[in-house]
Chain A
Amino acid sequence: MAAHVQDPHQLKDFYNPNVLINLGPSHPAMHGTLRVMCRVNGETIEDANCEIGYLHRAIEKLGEEKTYHQWMVYTDRLNYCSALNNNIAYAMAVENVMNISITERCMYIRVMCMELARIIDHIICVAINALDLGAMTVFWLLYHWREEAYTMIESMCGMRLTTTYARIGGMSYDLPDNLRQRMWKFCEELPRALDEVEGLLTSNRIWIDRTRGVGVVSKEDALKYSITGPCLRASGVDHDLRRDRPYYIYPELDFDVVVGSNGDVYDRYLVRLEEMRQSVRILKQVNDKMPNGPLWVNDKRVQIPEKLDVYNKMEVLIHHFKIFMEGIDVPKGEAFTCVEGPNGELGFYIVSRGGPKAWRMRVKSPSFMLFQNFEASVKGGKIPDAVAHLGSVNIIAGELDR
């Protein structure tokens, strides 16, 4: 009789609600090296503790060791999905400290690069979000457009992903001749691909069930956690640095700012899709209005001379040597330059005490605040919801840990 009566102490372990699940740094749903340690009860996450720092590469410390030109390379590796944007934001930050204003053609090229970077970053976010939830077709479909954009970027600066295209005072190379036609073709065909994606996902019953009401971030929470970018706009806060604190030629461009209402994963997906269409609109305007003119600013402190002159004239050779070996001389001062990146507000706070190297190079990355908000808002949800939520928030580990 006593044989089949179980020991109650053993059964207590069986019904223990505190199970620790570690969505560890190596996990298919972890976009990069993040770690979420969840205490779950069944499938509901009761408590979550996020750990970052698995990709901390000391980029800010390197900012104090390398000259301003040398550090441009590290900016690519911050948000590596949209490297052009980081280069240009950094170049803008140094130019602000030096009080340099760039030429008009350079401004148009930079805005074009930033919007292209925004498109490819949103493509990755939507594609990987869909892949995590099982919609692999969207991934294959959208990745083709990323390759098209890569081919254009490669023709501009030679490299697909880590571009290092911008220079302080200008750009490293001028645009190739056939870029205008290719960009026009890209702008014509991408909206049709976006229509296909919308047809696959937007009114899809499964997609709506998996994403609507999931990962809700309210307006007050969004401001309390200082998140920026599409996630802030999807929560209902109408804030876009391109319109509110405009830089370069954004005051002359005609575009809309996309604001959501609920702050769930579905809204973020819709905001990103519509932002891609608005970026295409901006690209078309920039492509039409691109002026001819000098690319480099006429400032002897930063202007990198032409290669032919470097090879033939002695003074130009010495000038080129001094710019790259010693570094440019940035005057004493500081500035905090913010740019509306694809993921949010990317800021560079440069403290300079004179000389070729910065005293402090601080990168304010949007993913840091977004992941903090993720840690707080994932509590109470289920594990698959956490996966959907993480995909929509677009955490880039390079930017998170720097």
Chain B
Amino acid sequence: MSKDGSSFFYPTLLSEAAKWAQKNSLWPMPFGTSCCGIEMMSTLSSTYDLSRFGAEVVRFSPRQADMLIVAGTITTKMAPVLRTIYDQMLEPKWVIAMGACSSSGGIFDTYSVLQGIDEIMPVDVYVPGCPPIPEGLIHAIMHLQTKIEKGMDRKPAERPTHDDALNAMSYRKGVGFDIKADFTVTQDYVKQQQELKAKQELK
């Protein structure tokens, strides 16, 4: 402690320090497909600067990003690409569904459009708008920062399993269709399978 009473140390919990670091340096992985992508570019440019919020590094590399901003319509042809990018991101990761199309399919209720990306991945923040104005996206990121501050652990039961995610793409009801995931699995998939097995054994 120095003479005037101010301290050089800020005592806090490690998890709180980690949360502060994470929420103020959210590196985005922009996944812009259509019109919302243009508004995302506007947010990233000089008038509504997103790098004020720590989102300076816009490298289109999922391995180096924390936050996936899905801006635009996701079609059934694009869905496996998006899921692969989500899987390639490292924990902890957050997903923002920007715009009406990625939240719920938007104005396109057709044979080729995914009715919301929460059919294939868990979403943290939904931003309404078609497209949302840049201030809307900034509001969403600030909301995400509050969410990170308040609690980092999301309950694993809220996330769909890998099998659920793949079966969501075959959503013609009554087909009786089961897709087995035979590509490389992630750690949380293994954990989920173990938990499911444990639950079944308990019964």
Q: What residues of chain A have their CB less than 8 Å away from a CB belonging to chain B?
A: 24-28, 32-33, 53-59, 61-62, 73-74, 76-77, 80-81, 124, 139-140, 143-144, 146-147, 150, 160-162, 397-398
Contacts and interface: CB of A to CB of B under 8 A. Distances in A.
Given A55-B75, A398-B34, A161 B39 contact: yes
B57 interface: no
B126 to A, nearest CB: 18
Given A54-B77, A143-B46, A62 B110 contact: yes
Contacts of B39: 160-161
Interface in B17-43: 31, 33-35, 37-39, 41-42
Interface in B53-77: 59-60, 72-73, 75, 77
15 contacts: A26-B81, A28-B59, A33-B33, A54-B78, A56-B112, A57-B73, A57-B75, A57-B108, A57-B112, A80-B38, A140-B46, A147-B47, A161-B39, A162-B130, A397-B34
A347 B129 CA distance: 28
A104 B60 CA distance: 48
Contacts of A73: 107
Contacts of B77: 53-54, 56
B111 interface: yes
Nearest to A81: B38
Nearest to A154: B133
Interface of B: 31, 33-35, 37-39, 41-42, 45-47, 59-60, 72-73, 75, 77-78, 81-82, 85, 107-108, 110-113, 130-131, 133
B158 to A, nearest CB: 26
A26 B31 contact: yes
Contacts of A55: 33-34, 72-73, 75, 78
A70 to B, nearest CB: 9
Nearest to A53: B77
Contacts of B47: 143-144, 147
B38 A26 contact: no
Contact of B42 (A25, A59, A80, A146): A146
Nearest to A33: B33
Given A55-B75, A57-B112, A161 B31 contact: no
Nearest to B47: A147
A58 B108 contact: yes
Given A57-B73, A58-B111, A62-B108, A147 B42 contact: yes
Nearest to A160: B133
B73 A26 contact: no
B114 to A, nearest CB: 11
B46 A144 contact: yes
B60 A28 contact: yes
Contact of A77 (B31, B34, B60): B34
A187 B29 CA distance: 36
A20 B119 CA distance: 32
B38 A161 contact: yes
Greatest chain B CB density within 10 A among A24, A27, A32, A124 is at A32
B62 to A, nearest CB: 9
Contacts of A146: 42
A75 to B, nearest CB: 12
Contacts of A26: 31, 60, 81-82, 85
B124 to A, nearest CB: 20
Given A27-B60, A53-B77, A55-B73, A143 B42 contact: yes
A74 B107 contact: yes
A74 B109 CA distance: 12
Nearest to A124: B38
Contacts of A59: 108
Contacts of A62: 108, 110
B34 A80 contact: yes
A74 B112 CA distance: 15
Contacts of B31: 26
A139 B58 CA distance: 15
Nearest 4 CB-CB pairings of A with B:
A58-B110, A80-B35, A28-B60, A143-B45
Contacts of A27: 60
A144 B45 CA distance: 9
Nearest to B35: A80
Contacts of B72: 55
A53 B81 CA distance: 13
Contacts of A147: 42, 47
B75 A162 contact: no
B35 A54 contact: no
B160 to A, nearest CB: 22
A208 to B, nearest CB: 26
B108 A32 contact: no
A395 B75 CA distance: 18
Given A26-B81, A146-B42, A150-B42, 7 more contacts: A55-B73, A55-B75, A57-B108, A59-B108, A143-B46, A160-B39, A162-B130
B78 A162 contact: no
A26 to B, nearest CB: 6
Contacts of B81: 24-26, 54
A116 to B, nearest CB: 16
B142 to A, nearest CB: 21
Nearest to B73: A57
Given A26-B85, A144-B46, A32 B37 contact: yes
A32 B73 CA distance: 11
B131 to A, nearest CB: 6
